[in-house]
Structure 1
Amino acid sequence: MPVRPIVMFPDPRLTSPAAEVTSFDPALAALADDLLDTMRDAPGIGITAPHLGVLHRLVVIELPDDPEGVRIYVNPRITWSSDDTVIHEEGSVSMPGVSEEVERPARIRLTWQDLTGAAHEAEADGLLAICLQHEIDQLDGIFWTRRLSKLRRDRLHKRYEKMRKAGSR
């Protein structure tokens, strides 16, 4: 499948909530394949359909050394999160070259559907829980930098803009 252009920050589609997927057809599977190829090319470990400008609730995750391999989540929702938290370095394929530490719940429970529409529920912790929260935020229209304090967010945005301008010369 083709590598597709990634929507870059500050495109407003990155802060728009994504619609529920209702058609579990070959086009959805093709979009998931495109997401995987685009994510690997970026490179990244997680990507959503909105990163490609498609405002549907679809997430693809591929973590290093994960025995499960590629994970695909359609219409994912977090139904519970732990009170204990972890801090982890995060970034985005839509804002390459910058990252910052983000605090999130250490464990979550979620529901989702697979590419056939079958329902699933599971708990996640570690890097998978962090990645899922990051990508589900994206589906909800919450770009990851919103999880930073205003000061840290402003500094990161300025650093990114400076990098972008330097790269366009």
Structure 2
Amino acid sequence: MALRRILTIDNVADLAILKQVSKPVAGVDDAVRTLMDDMLETMYAAPGIGLAAVQIGALDRVIVMDLGDKGGDACDTEEEDTPEAAETRRNPRFFANPEILWASDELYTYEEGCLSIPEYFDKVERPARVRIRYLNRDGEQVEEEASGLYAVCIQHEMDHLNGVLFIDHLSRLKRERAVTKVKKAARDRIAA
């Protein structure tokens, strides 16, 4: 496994890649599993709960996710989140060529963040439940329903595969504010 650099919107070249549509993988082979492992290590180090391959510059329809012991349905936890506690709650999930088969009419609003848009969070409204189909790490086709945080996260990561960022769901003013904030934070890090 290898740590990879996460592309961010403050870099023009990175943004151009993030806005591209990812291509399906032919199947889950050793190369795809290596990509998944690198993505997972990168996501844990960031730290984050989901990562799409495009966020590390690979235009493959691959996602990794780890919602820990939240089971996918819980959205908030009052537990202290120490590195040791997080390590024991790990529950990695792997998705190749994911697709949404059905989305509920019922909507759910959640405050989202993104490793490619560091230090910016905002509320996004998405379907509360989705039915998805994907290939798992073993290349087996899986079909299941997602709700709660799992539904939010899988839709967020699948947006990445289609060149869509969570801020694209916001008003133009909020999008501009997000980009400005991320660029300023990047300049401040360089100056420090």
1:84 and 2:88 aligned: no
Q: CA deviation at 1:64?
A: 3.1
Correspondence for 1:134: 156
Gap runs ≥5 in structure 2: 72-89
Number of residue-to-residue matches in the alignment: 169
- Picking from 81, 84, 101, the partner of 2:123 is 101
1:64 aligns with 2:64: no
Residue 26 of structure 2 corresponds to residue 26 of structure 1: no
C-alpha distance in 2 between matches for 1:110 and 1:73 = 10
Q: SS state of the match for residue 136, structure 1?
A: helix
Aligned counterparts of 1:151 and 1:95: Cα–Cα separation in 2? 16
Q: CA deviation at 1:136?
A: 0.3
Q: Which moved more, 1:148-157 or 1:51-60?
A: 148-157
Match of 1:7 in 2: 7
Identity %: 38
Give, in angstroms, the shift of residue 24 of structure 1. 2.2
Structure 1 CA distance, aligned partners of 2:108 and 2:176?
A: 22
Letter in 2 for 1:7: L
**1:82-121 residue CA offsets vs partner (Å, 9 max, x unmatched):** 1111111111111211111111110001110113322111
SS at match of 2:47: coil
Between the aligned partners of 1:92 and 1:34, the Cα distance in structure 2 is 18
Q: What is the root-mean-square deviation in Å for CA atoms of aligned residues? A: 1.4
Write the letter of the residue equivalent to 1:2.
A
For 1:102, the aligned partner's letter is: V
| Structure 1 unmatched ranges of 5 or more | none
Give the conservation status (yes or no) of the 8 Å contact 2:65–2:94.
yes
Shift of 1:163: 1.3
- Secondary structure of the residue aligned to 1:86 is strand
Q: Structure 1 runs of 4+ off > 6 angstroms? A: none
Deviation at 1:151, TM superposition (A): 1.4
Aligned to 2:43: 39
- In the superposition, the TM-score normalised over structure 2's length comes to 0.84
What is the alpha-carbon distance in structure 2 between the residues aligned to residue 69 and residue 54 of structure 1?
23
Whichever residue aligns with residue 53 of structure 1, its letter is G
| Post-superposition offset of 1:52 | 0.8
SS at match of 1:166: helix
SS at 1:133 equivalent: helix
**In structure 2, C-alpha distance between the alignment counterparts of 1:82 and 1:152, rounded to whole Å:** 26
